[in-house]
């Protein structure tokens, strides 16, 4: 496949085509990238639960799922725990699996948007913040589970 | 960071250890790749910025899983594409459409018209570009300008002697061709999920 790139001129032309098309400004993408660094978490006991299911990425079903008054379901998975969340009208309903009592915080890029305590069944309810990036922080003993950011 | 010899793997390790300059260098290297995927979805500038913000926010937390050189561009491409799909779907929902015309489908005019092969080639090329440092990338993009710039003009812009530009051009193109992203292009599908098994399978739209 790289054979067509044996010609220097063809390779440079393709490079030009890939980088000089009109599109979103590179500067804005770069700025967003640089700014993301301050949201990096670290430390012992810190675990990232990755997004493993998002009903908004589903087929036909999701078209209805995120309508006003509708619901969007998300699952975040780490080795020891998963976080299942439903975004409903005005609130966020979640459950930690396996069920465990925990302090749960909903974070946005401007800070905490709400805190709750997961009960012995792992269930929690939080107010739904305005649209934008959000993530959950669950403190279970000395472990801190952060979910992936999602756009809500 | 930013020394001419710094490779992506080193930058990832340094950023994981808290080096913000290394992170910024990484971002700068992969902006063209992220941007090329965004372009395929014809998003507004504001939507494109929102998607890129989400991609970087996730990346900065997943860096530790992406230390293998080939894992990073695949992860970026998949994550960016998924966020674009989600946004296109969300926009469809908020756009009044006549269901009998199917007009809503035009909003989803995504990368399909480009062709999978062309798309993979372009992304591999941009992933290879990311393995060059800033000065090398800058020079290569000047050399790729269309209409072409004279070596005198490139010399004026970069401060390099005109006589050095021809040989450097050859060296940079060889370096680009030997980048893992281009050498492994025929196996591009194999490591799509190299960053962590099911997570990627489950989020592919």
* pLDDT for residue B199 is more than 90: no
Q: Burial-class residue A60 by CB neighbours within 10 Å (0-12, 13-18, 19+).
A: exposed
Q: Which residue has the tokens 């915080």?
A: A105
Q: Which of B1, B24, B49, B53 to mutate to test the interface with A (most CBs of A within 10 A)?
A: B53
The β-bridge partners of A107 are A112, A135
Q: What is the pLDDT of residues A15-40, one digit of tens each?
A: 998 888 788 889 999 999 999 999 99
Q: Which of B27, B89, B177 sits opposite A33 (nearest CB)?
A: B27
Radius of gyration over every alpha carbon of chain A, rounded to an integer in angstroms: 20
Closest approach of chain A CAs to the CA of B60, in angstroms?
6
Do A113 and A134 touch, CB atoms closer than 8 A? yes
- Rounded to 10°, the helix A8-19/B134-143 angle is 100
pLDDT for residue B190 = 39
pLDDT for residue B57 = 98
Helix (H, G, I), strand (E, B) or coil at B110: coil
Helix (H, G, I), strand (E, B) or coil at A125: strand
Look up the ipTM and state it. 0.90
* pLDDT for residue A60 is more than 90: no
Q: Is the dihedral of CA A49, A53, A55, A57 positive or negative?
A: positive
H or E stretch including A133?
strand A133-140
Do A15 and B141 touch, CB atoms closer than 8 A? yes
Residues in chain B: 205
Do B162 and B42 touch, CB atoms closer than 8 A? no
pTM equals 0.82
Residues of chain B with C-beta less than 8 angstroms from the C-beta of A62: 89
Considering only CA atoms, which of A72, A46, A135, A149 is closest in space to residue B64?
A46
Q: Inter-chain contact A15–B146, Cβ cutoff 8 Å?
A: no
Residues of chain B with C-beta less than 8 angstroms from the C-beta of A40: 18, 23, 60-61, 63
Q: Burial-class residue A28 by CB neighbours within 10 Å (0-12, 13-18, 19+).
A: middle
Q: What is the pLDDT of residues B80-139, one digit of tens each?
A: 999 999 988 887 776 655 555 544 444 444 555 667 788 888 889 999 999 999 999 999
């Amino acid at each position: 496949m790289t054979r067509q790139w044996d010609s220097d001129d063809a390779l440079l032309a393709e490079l030009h085509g890939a980088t000089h098309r009109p599109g979103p400004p590179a500067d804005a993408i770069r700025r967003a990238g640089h700014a993301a660094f301050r949201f990096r978490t670290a430390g012992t006991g810190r675990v990232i639960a990755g997004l493993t299911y998002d009903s908004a990425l589903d087929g036909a079903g999701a078209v209805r799922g995120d309508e006003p008054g509708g619901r969007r379901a998300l699952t975040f998975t780490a080795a020891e725990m998963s976080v299942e969340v439903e975004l409903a009208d005005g609130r966020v309903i979640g459950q930690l699996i396996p069920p465990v009592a925990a302090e749960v915080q909903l974070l946005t890029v401007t800070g905490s948007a709400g805190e709750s305590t997961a009960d012995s069944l792992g269930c929690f309810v939080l107010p739904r913040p305005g649209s934008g990036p959000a993530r959950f922080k669950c403190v279970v003993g000395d472990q801190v589970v952060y979910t992936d950011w999602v756009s809500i | 960071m930013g020394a001419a010899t710094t490779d992506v793997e080193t930058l990832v390790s340094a950023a994981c250890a808290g080096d913000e300059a290394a992170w910024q260098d990484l971002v700068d290297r992969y902006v063209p790749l992220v941007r090329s995927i965004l372009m395929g979805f014809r998003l507004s500038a504001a939507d494109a910025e929102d998607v890129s913000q989400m991609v970087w926010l996730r990346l900065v937390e997943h860096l530790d899983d992406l230390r293998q050189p080939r894992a990073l561009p695949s992860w970026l491409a998949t994550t960016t594409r998924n966020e674009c799909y989600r946004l296109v779907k969300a926009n469809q929902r908020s756009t009044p459409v006549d269901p009998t015309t199917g007009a809503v489908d035009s909003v989803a005019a995504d990368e399909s018209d480009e062709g999978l092969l062309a798309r993979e080639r372009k992304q591999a090329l941009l992933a290879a570009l990311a393995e060059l440092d800033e000065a090398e990338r800058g020079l290569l993009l000047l050399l790729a300008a269309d209409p072409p710039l004279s070596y005198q003009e490139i010399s004026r812009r970069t401060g390099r002697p005109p006589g050095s530009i021809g040989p450097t051009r050859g060296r940079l193109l060889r370096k680009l061709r030997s980048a893992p992203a281009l050498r492994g292009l025929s196996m591009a599908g194999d490591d799509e999920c190299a960053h962590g098994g099911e997570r990627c399978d489950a989020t592919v739209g």
